[in-house]
A = this chain, B = another copy of it.
Amino acid sequence: MNRQIVLRQRPRGAIDESTTELVVRAEPTCGPDEALIKVAMLSIDPTIRTWMNDAPGYLPPIEIGAPVRSTGAGVVVASNSTRYQVGDVVVGMTNWQEWVIANEEHRFSVIPRDIGLDLATVLNVLGVTGLTAYFGLLDVGRFQAGDVVVVSAAAGATGSAVGQIARARGAARVIGVAGGPRKCDEAVSWYGFDSCLDHREPDLEGRLRAASPNGVDLYFDNVGGAVLDAALASIAMHGRVVLCGAISQYNESGRPRGVANTPMLIMRRASMSGFIVLDFAARFGEAQAVLVAMVRDGTLRHREHLINGLERAPEALNLLFAGANHGKTLVVVDEGIALA
């Protein structure tokens, strides 16, 4: 059988018990040119929440009754496809379920067995998280050595990778913004940020200005809202704002608090660009080679927050919005599947 967590109704605000339901369906069978994948682990990302809305997005809304869309990893247990061999560990759109079919339209990437990383690390650093950090900082943000870089959600999976890549590439200063003293401490002592500001304390705008007296050359935004506004107030001449995510807004059911400091983009001839990492798919290999090397030589630290059981995926997603996760949030669907 195939246990799935499907979208029952579109949430307003945070998801709750009425949003999804666990259903049991027949295990899919492997047709011509297809492979059957047993799902091992799910990547829990804030963007999943946006796919639950009936609103224009970069992918269609998840249909009511369909399993919640999600990337994940698994192992090939049967294959009629030349792309996949039984035993291959693969990464792709598994969705929130125990079994998934790979075919020509729905492809997965095969992870080399000798990669020397465990599955959780692969889903974190080589998955959308690490790739988002890499392309967002270097391509969208046009990072240059000597930049003063500010990163929000600095102790989070994406933010911590952004900060470390910036440092490794010669940033003048890497300043984090995070929620609460524990995360700020971790950003500095574990991930090597030069400093980290707690956005829950008053006057973030003033503290950010003091921390970057010559302005912020590159702000990597994972949160939107008030933190984005504070960063805009300190943007440097020709500064760049990379909009990666807006987790502070995804659960808003009304009109969110807007960003008031957009005129600073005029004063400072600055720009603000959004992106979706899927647009860089043709270059994932290039990025993954760099990221694996950084993990191996210790310049890219990472941390995963594992939650056991498919049925806990909705709870895992809500952890992100509460800021209660500690590292990349992953749901273990089948703990018997391993890479290394």
Contact = CB atoms under 8 A, between A and B. Distances in A.
Interface of A: 56-58, 224, 228-229, 243-246, 249, 255-260, 262-276, 279
Contacts of A265: 243, 272-274
Contacts of A255: 260
11 contacts: A57-B267, A58-B268, A58-B269, A243-B265, A249-B260, A249-B263, A258-B259, A259-B260, A265-B274, A268-B274, A269-B275
A257 B257 contact: no
Task: Specify the main secondary structure of chain A where it touches its partner.
Answer: loop
Nearest to A265: B274
Contacts of A276: 266-267, 269
Contact of A267 (B56, B256, B268, B273): B56
B274 A267 contact: yes
Give the number of times this chain occurs in the complex, counting copies.
2
A274 B279 contact: no
Contacts of A263: 224, 243, 246, 249, 274
Contacts of A271: 271-274
A273 B274 contact: no
Contacts of A267: 56-58, 274, 276
Nearest to A273: B271
A267 to B, nearest CB: 5
Contacts of A243: 262-263, 265-266
A180 to B, nearest CB: 24
